[in-house]
């Protein structure tokens, strides 16, 4: 899970996420306003964790164009208040 305090709605953030790849990493960045931060269970049957679910940090961000996006945060995610 992400080691940061819960993010408050209304906070403007820049989220940078990376996906490891054989030749480096794929990187993407989004900016917007936090709508909601929560820890939510997946439907993963193989997780063998609390209630046999894998718990993920999820961040809902409203982008500048009005689009609402849901980000699953992991150890490769960086969240900066801006």
| pLDDT value, residue 45 | 58
Position 53 in a domain: yes
What's the domain range around 68?
A: 12-81
Position 1 in a domain: no
Distance CA 67, CA 62 (A): 6
Neighbours of 59 (CB within 10 A): 23
pTM over 0.75: yes
Position 2 in a domain: no
Position 6 in a domain: no
Tokens 């997946």 found at: 42
Position 7 in a domain: no
Query: Residue 48: is its pLDDT beyond 70?
Result: no
| pLDDT value, residue 55 | 75
Number of domains in the chain: 1
Position 29 in a domain: yes
Distance CA 81, CA 11 (A): 7
Position 5 in a domain: no
Position 55 in a domain: yes
Q: Is 63 helix (H, G, I), strand (E, B) or coil?
A: strand
| pLDDT value, residue 1 | 43
- Stated as kind and residue range, the H or E segment containing 26 is strand 24-41
Averaged confidence pLDDT in the chain: 85
């Amino acid at each position: 899970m992400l080691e940061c305090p819960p993010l408050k709605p209304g906070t403007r953030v820049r989220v940078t996420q990376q996906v490891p790849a054989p030749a480096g990493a794929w990187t993407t960045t989004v900016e917007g306003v936090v709508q909601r931060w929560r820890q939510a269970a997946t439907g993963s049957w193989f997780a063998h964790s609390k209630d046999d679910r894998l718990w993920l940090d999820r961040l809902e961000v409203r982008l500048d164009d009005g689009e609402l996006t849901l980000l699953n945060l992991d150890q490769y995610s960086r969240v900066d208040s801006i």
